[in-house]
Chains A and B, each alone.
Chain A
Amino acid sequence: MNFPEDNNELKLALEKAEAAARLREAPTPSRLCEDWRFGNPHRWAAELVALLEDAQTTNAGSIRMEAPEGVACEPDDELRSDELLMSSIGSDKLLGLHLKRFGKGVCLFLETSPEKPITITYETDSVFTPTTCILAAPGVRAQITERHITRGKGTIFCVRDIKAMEGADLSVHLVEEGSGSSRALNITNISSVRARVRHLTEHTGHAWAREETTAEILASEDDADIQLFSANRLADGQVLDQHTRQLHAVGRSASNLLYKNVLDGKATAVFAGNIRVEEGAHNTDAYQANRNMLLSEDAVVHSLPGLEILADRVRCSHGSASSPMDEEQLFYLMARGVPRHEAQLLVADGFLEDARAAFRGER
């Protein structure tokens, strides 16, 4: 539908009504949904839906923050209606349930560059559904660390909206700490209007964790750049289910992705990524790499890196590699007196450090 410019409000209202209807009618995710194919999703999704639909379940968790005064506030109605327009990757049903429990979380409005890095910590031992919103005004440079600590059989389901305006330079680090039997779901939307955003996620200890990260470049003049990184160690029967979208709506922009996993025990890692370069988004550079190191016989990796290119003069590539630890690297360390087990830990850590260093801009 085409609206004249002064009808933008009407258009927005219509979009919201459509989004509300979509979320309301979305089915519970199952194995038959393309975005929930691997890692016993039917079990986890059904359990999470039941948990969130249960009226007895409270939205319980604590929030701590280290930030300059006047920067943060609690989620308000405006944010609530923004959340309505966010995109999930196959979890509209869950996003709808999150909206029903909307109210807790942190909104950061960064109008000037903060002097120190900002830290947000969410902690829970039951069910917690916070919302994080980060908005960086033009020219702002900021580092933000978000820690999610989940104890016992707790579940954290966080919806995260990160927006960077013209000339901003934002780096966001998400640390997910689990207890061994905890669960986590993060639905993250990152958008850049001629800005740079770097995003790193690190998972440890969740029995099941899922990430849905949608990164979108909305305007660019050779200076929009979104970089997504992830470095995870999985053991026992842990499942990490990661889904990403790199959307290039306009040309002359760049995005990059590097997701690395080290798997031990009976762990399962799923990576399903997609780069979409829209029609007319010419001169786009987009890259995507998924690297997995398998340490045990029972570890499983599912890797689905995807590309959809509808534009011209595009440089796009993706790569996926899954292999055991390099014996030569182990031999090198062992020849210098490091016991085998320690050598393995060192090599695995070096493998993941690669992604962390790239996030810090050291590489």
Chain B
Amino acid sequence: MSEQDSPFSVDTRGEFSFPENHRYDAGYGLTEQTIDYICDAKGEPNWLREFRKAALRKFREMPMPTHWAPEGISGVDFEKIRYYLAHGTPPRKSWDEVPEDVKRTFERLGVPEQERAFLAGVDAQYDSETAYNNMRRELSEKGVIFVNSTEGLKEYEHIFRPWFGKVIPVGDNKFSALNHAAFSGGSFIYIPKGVKLAQPLQAYFRINSESMGQFERTLIIADEGAELVYMEGCTAPKFDTATLHSGVVELVALKGAKIQYVTVQNWAANVYNLVIQRGLAMEGAEIRWIDCNLGSGLTMKYPAVVLRGEGARGEVVSISLAHTGQHQDTGARMIHAAPNTTSNIVAKSISIGKGRASYRGEVQVLKGMKGCKNNTECDALLINPSSRTDTYPAITVSGNASSVQHEASVSQVDEEMLFYMQQRGLTRAQAMSLAVNGFINDLVNEFPMEYSVELRRLIDLEMEDSIG
């Protein structure tokens, strides 16, 4: 299938870029001066400046992750990264006001079509600052707040600040400290009590400058009984030197709330994608992470749910695709910190060529928690003889009133199945593509319509490339 045949003009490779034209550029490396520069450029209050500096000290003190980290992580050179870039223009509300070059990038990402289709609001991020921000009036009338994190801290400090860094504290790990020190961009969303959004909210992230680190920070708070679906898609143009993406995403689902967070990650192969995603589910709340990793050189992403209130539910649905030169180190974490909480993890990975896909998951049932249940399933599919897959789960159960089970399997595409399809006139690549699509079919159905179409199309392309 060629790109023109697709109903969505989304660039799936990211092998394009536009000339850089930034008004603010904090230069390479991270020092106190860089932080002053970021704070001045964004006009931030003093408490935040101090907060960032404290986080920077923490970042310097902390060691790189030792347990459980893939070897590739040592390749990150913090001195060779630009920590802040922005156009310096305030967020736009109407599409016409967006600068032409930014628009051109978005055009290829398919933002306008999707907005026209049915999206409730678009908060698309171009490098560090939000360039386009539009919300339907009816949403704001319901009291829904959907702004970038800078605006959120400025305008809604009373809601934002109490939860800021509470789900993922500064000292959680080295990259959390880095994000606290250098964050810019990302979304801040607040859904008031009982408000249920029928349509998903969406943001696109994009890196378009060489050696540009993107440290977006997203905080979503769903008040009691509220419901929302948030979608985030990523793509980046290809560059020669490594870029770093180290985001922090915090979700807070208060009593009875439901949050579904959908990510499609498709960075270029020179991007380190180290994202910390964690949700806090209070009494009876539900958090679902639907995670799809297609791009980047090294991804380390383990969406987590801390089940803090009785009867809370967490779920992670994860698909990853690793090509030659890629290491998808993805997984999930579930912390059962309240009784009668349940969680489910379903992860499927596909390794192509010399690609490596790893599942790394942690499930913990804390002391004294009764009636907790977890189910984990990981399936890996190896396409070529040189493909690699790993599974590294860590399960801790305390007490005799909870049950946890984990299962993983590794398999290949059945030769007989391929033979059957080829005999009926399909090419080998088509047969392989059909088989792979069948492997992830039940998970793809979890994704919103346009993502699942894009995903299937992408798998077709990948199979053509690798089987030919």
Cα–Cα, bound, A315→B379 (Å): 12
Choice from A34, A294, A307, A314 contacting B408 with Cβ under 8 Å: A307
Closest residue on chain B to residue A325 by CB atoms: B400
Expressed in whole angstroms, the minimum distance between the Cβ of B388 and any Cβ of chain A is: 5
Residue picked from B387, B395, B402, most chain A C-beta under 10 Å = B395
Q: Select the stretch in B141-149, B198-206, B409-417, B453-461 that faces chain A.
A: B409-417
Contact check, B400 vs A309: say whether CB atoms are below 8 A apart.
no
Q: Which residues between 274 and 309 of chain A lie within 8 Å of chain B, taking CB atoms?
A: 279-280, 282, 292, 294-309
Check if A316 is an interface residue, CB within 8 A of chain B: yes
Contact partners of B411 in chain A: CB under 8 A: 314-315
> How far in angstroms is the closest Cβ of chain B from A7?
30
Kindly supply a per-residue 1/0 record for chain B positions 382-411, scoring 1 wherever the CB is within 8 Å of any chain A CB and 0 otherwise: 101111111111111111111111111111
Residue from B387, B393, B401 within 8 A of A312 (CB atoms): B387
- The verdict on A313 contacting B410 (CB below 8 Å), with A306-B392, A307-B389, A308-B390 known, is no
B391 and A32 contacting across the interface, CB-CB below 8 Å = no
B residues 313-343 near A (Cβ < 8 Å) are: none
Q: Find the A residue at minimum CB distance from B395.
A: A303
- Report chain B residues within 8 Å CB of A1: none
Tell me which of B390, B395, B402 contacts A307 (CB under 8 A): B390
A residues near B391, Cβ cutoff 8 Å = 305-307, 318
For B405, list chain A residues within 8 Å (CB): 319-323
Indicate whether A315 sits within 8 Å of B67 (C-beta atoms), given known contacts A301-B397, A310-B388, A322-B395: no
Q: Which of B394, B397, B400, B403 contacts A296 (CB 8 A)?
A: B400
- Which residues between 367 and 391 of chain B lie within 8 Å of chain A, taking CB atoms? 367-368, 380, 382, 384-391
B47 at the binding interface (Cβ < 8 Å): no
Any chain B CB within 8 A of the CB of A37?
yes
Interchain nearest-CB distance for B61 vs A (Å): 16
Q: Is B4 an interface residue (CB 8 A)?
A: no
A339 on the B face (CB < 8 A): no
Task: Evaluate contact between B399 and A294: CB separation under 8 angstroms.
Answer: yes
Report how far A37 CA is from B408 CA in the complex, Å: 22
- 1/0 per residue, CB under 8 A from A, across B35-69: the answer is 00000000000000000000000000000001110
Is the CB–CB distance between A302 and B404 below 8 Å? no
What is the CA–CA distance of A52 and B20 in the complex, to the nearest angstrom? 64
In the bound complex, residues from chain A placing their C-beta under 8 Å from that of B396 are 38, 300-303
Q: Shortest CB–CB separation between residue B129 and chain A, in angstroms?
A: 40
Contact with A along B77-97 (1 / 0, CB 8 A): 000000000000000000000
Interface of B: prevailing SS: strand
CB of A294 to closest CB in B, whole Å:
4
Complex contact B412–A313 (CB within 8 A) = yes
Map CB proximity to B onto A118-143 as digits: 1 under 8 Å, 0 otherwise. Answer: 00000000000000000000000000
List residues of chain B with CB within 8 A of the CB of A37.
Answer: 67
Partner of B407, one of A297, A306, A308, A319: A319
Q: How far is the CA of A318 from the CA of B390 in the complex (A)?
A: 12
Separation of A307 and B392 alpha carbons in the complex (Å): 7
* Interface membership of A317, Cβ < 8 A: yes
A308 to B391, CA, bound (A): 7
Complex alpha-carbon distance, A71 and B263, angstroms: 64
Q: Is the CB of B368 within 8 A of A297?
A: yes
Q: Which residues of B contact A325 (CB under 8 A)?
A: 400
A322-B404 in contact (CB<8A): yes
Cα distance A164–B67 when bound, in Å? Answer: 35
How far is B402's CA from A325's CA once the two chains are assembled, in angstroms? 10
Is B67 a contact partner of A318 (Cβ separation < 8 A)? no
Interface membership of A311, Cβ < 8 A: yes
Mask: chain A, 250-284; 1 = CB below 8 Å from B; 0 = not: 00000000000000000000000000000110100
Can you list 9 contacts pairing A with B, beta carbon distance less than 8 Å? A299-B398, A300-B397, A307-B410, A309-B389, A309-B410, A314-B410, A315-B411, A318-B408, A320-B395
Shortest Cβ-Cβ A-B pairs, 10 listed = A323-B403, A312-B385, A307-B391, A317-B409, A294-B400, A321-B405, A324-B400, A322-B397, A316-B410, A303-B395
B→A interface (CB under 8 Å): 66-68, 367-368, 380, 382, 384-412
Instruction: Please name 7 further chain A to chain B contacts, defined as beta carbons within 8 Å, in addition to the given A305-B408, A308-B389, sorted by A numbering.
Output: A280-B385, A292-B397, A307-B390, A320-B393, A321-B405, A322-B402, A324-B402
